[in-house]
Amino acid sequence: MNRNDAKQIAQTITNEQIQDMFNRAKENIKDWKKVSSVNKGLTKGSAWNILAKDFDILVNHHILAKTNYVREFGEFLPDELKPKKKSKIIAQTPIHQEPVFPESQWISEIQNLLPPQIELSENIKDVFDECIQEILLSRSKKK
């Protein structure tokens, strides 16, 4: 758990909740030789001996001590005490444009050049499309 989240939790957590966290950690940690998250020079076992071995519910612990308790063993807190994960991806509405294909652009340009009373018939459009395809194929073969 990161330092800021641990500090926020430490400001509101009770000693009973800390004791429950320690009890769950004692039951669930299988590898006590794993490196401590508070001090990289220590193992989880060493951190346990320093932080949790003599924990007293009746003593008012300093906020820094509580922060270190939560940083080291915070994964064993109940889910309602853990901070909610923030989404790093901000969803934006994608920008969309209709795709412009060269052959359809040429057809519309030719249609614009013709007088308004003349429209391309479907047969002429098909022939025109075939011609364009042949031109595009011949250009791609030259490259």
Per-residue pLDDT for 125 more than 90? no
Per-residue pLDDT for 104 more than 70? no
Per-residue pLDDT for 112 more than 90? no
Mean pLDDT of 93-118: 69
User: Residue 15 burial (CB < 10 Å; 0-12/13-18/19+)?
Assistant: middle
pLDDT at residue 18 in the model: 92
Residue 35: phi and psi, rounded to 5, are: -65, 140
pLDDT at residue 62 in the model: 92
- Digit-coded pLDDT (tens) for 46-91: 988 888 888 888 999 999 999 999 999 888 998 888 877 776 777 7
Mean pLDDT of 33-56: 88
* 3-class secondary-structure state, position 134: helix
Per-residue pLDDT for 98 more than 70? yes
Q: What percent of the chain has pLDDT over 90?
A: 19
pLDDT at residue 105 in the model: 62
Mean pLDDT of 121-136: 70
Residue type, 63: I
The C-alpha atoms of residue 55 and residue 137 are separated, in whole angstroms, by 80
User: Residue 120 burial (CB < 10 Å; 0-12/13-18/19+)?
Assistant: middle
Q: What is the mean pLDDT of the chain?
A: 81
